[in-house]
């Protein structure tokens, strides 16, 4: 089960996707962001091949909350200590782009722009100050692919990460939001550059499981429907060059694919 946000002719809508006679088809649509799957399943009927729709970012988050160093091997490759509690930071909503949109390297400001393929969690229900032991699943609408694009040189230079993580186009999200996967039992998260495998992780290697992450974030800020959590990147981060094509594949979601260009 998955949904997209798409443009067709001049309208932008959310669409429930199902395979009909072997073709990925948008079978239900609604104007506003869905908060549950039954809401989508009861929306207006449609019969539009997915290939005829232009995919947009499937979420319009009020914030993107990211987790730093949630995989042991990635912390080691950046020579950071293994954290004892989650490390969170934000990407601005203005950094979000869709699949097929270009990542623009701010080439006059940064000489090193890296890919970070990650599992994205989409919030479906407002969530604030969860108590220990609260079940987080009712707050999760689904999952998507995120590329937490990072100007690595600026991350080191600035000492905090707002600039390095916050450039426009630095948060590709998509192509869809899917429900039929279970990060608790392990889904693979892979990143390819020009078809070559660069990152190959699984969510069973999270240092902090999803329950801990959502609980931790909710002690700080209210998570709103449509908000996105990027759950950290596995080892293998590396630079992107103009002309590259970068793909993030999350098992059960699909592949988020973006060309890389220079800003100037």
Question: By CB under 5 A, which span of 38-46, 85-93, 98-106, 111-119 interacts with Zn ion?
Answer: 111-119
Specify the residue, 38 or 81, whose C-beta has the smaller distance to Zn ion. 81
Tokens 């947009």 appear where? 56
Note whether 101 binds Zn ion by CB under 5 A: no
Between residue 168 and residue 207, which ones bind Zn ion under the rule CB under 5 A?
A: none
**Among 101, 114, 116, 247, contact with Zn ion (rule: CB under 5 A):** 116
DSSP run (H or E) holding 38: helix 37-41
Which burial class, exposed, middle or buried, applies to 117 when counting CB atoms under 10 A from its CB (0-12, 13-18, 19+)? buried
Q: How many CB atoms lie within 10 A of CB 18?
A: 15
Rounded Cα–Cα distance for residues 150 and 249 (Å): 18
Min CB(149)–Zn ion separation in Å: 9
Q: Which residue is nearest to Zn ion (CB)?
A: 148
Note whether 114 binds Zn ion by CB under 5 A: no
Note whether 233 binds Zn ion by CB under 5 A: yes
Assess contact for 210 and 33: CB atoms under 8 A: no
Question: By CB under 5 A, which span of 1-9, 127-135, 182-190, 229-237 interacts with Zn ion?
Answer: 229-237
Question: By CB under 5 A, which span of 15-23, 112-120, 131-139, 208-216 interacts with Zn ion?
Answer: 112-120
In angstroms, the Cα distances linking 152 to 4, 27, 119 are: 31, 42, 20
Min CB(202)–Zn ion separation in Å: 16
Assess contact for 226 and 127: CB atoms under 8 A: no
List the x/- string, 135-174, binding to Zn ion by CB under 5 A.
Answer: -------------x--------------------------
Rounded Cα–Cα distance for residues 55 and 150 (Å): 24
Q: Residues in the site for Zn ion, rule: CB under 5 A?
A: 116, 148, 233
């Amino acid at each position: 089960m998955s949904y997209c946000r798409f443009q067709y002719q001049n309208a932008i809508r959310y669409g429930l996707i199902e395979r009909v006679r072997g073709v990925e088809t948008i079978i239900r649509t609604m104007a506003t962001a869905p908060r549950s799957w039954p809401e989508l399943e009861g929306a207006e009927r449609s019969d539009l091949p997915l290939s005829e729709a232009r995919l947009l970012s499937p979420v319009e988050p009020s914030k993107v909350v990211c987790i730093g160093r949630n995989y042991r091997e990635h912390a080691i490759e950046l020579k950071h200590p293994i954290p004892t509690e989650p490390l969170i930071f934000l990407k601005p909503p203005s950094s979000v782009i869709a699949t097929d949109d270009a990542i623009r390297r701010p080439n006059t400001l940064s000489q090193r722009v890296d890919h970070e393929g990650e599992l994205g969690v989409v919030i479906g229900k407002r969530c604030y100050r969860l108590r220990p032991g609260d079940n987080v699943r009712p707050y999760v609408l689904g999952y998507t692919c995120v590329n937490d694009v990072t100007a690595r040189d600026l991350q080191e230079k600035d000492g905090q990460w707002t600039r390095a993580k916050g450039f426009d186009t630095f948060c590709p999200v998509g192509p869809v939001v899917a429900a039929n996967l279970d990060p608790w039992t392990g889904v693979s998260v892979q990143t390819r550059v020009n078809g070559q495998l660069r990152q190959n992780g699984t969510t069973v290697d999270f240092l902090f499981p999803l329950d801990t992450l959502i609980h931790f974030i909710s002690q700080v800020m209210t998570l709103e429907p449509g908000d996105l959590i990027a759950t950290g990147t596995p080892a293998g981060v590396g630079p992107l060059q103009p002309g590259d094509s970068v793909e993030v594949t999350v098992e059960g979601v699909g592949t988020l694919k973006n060309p890389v260009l220079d800003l100037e």
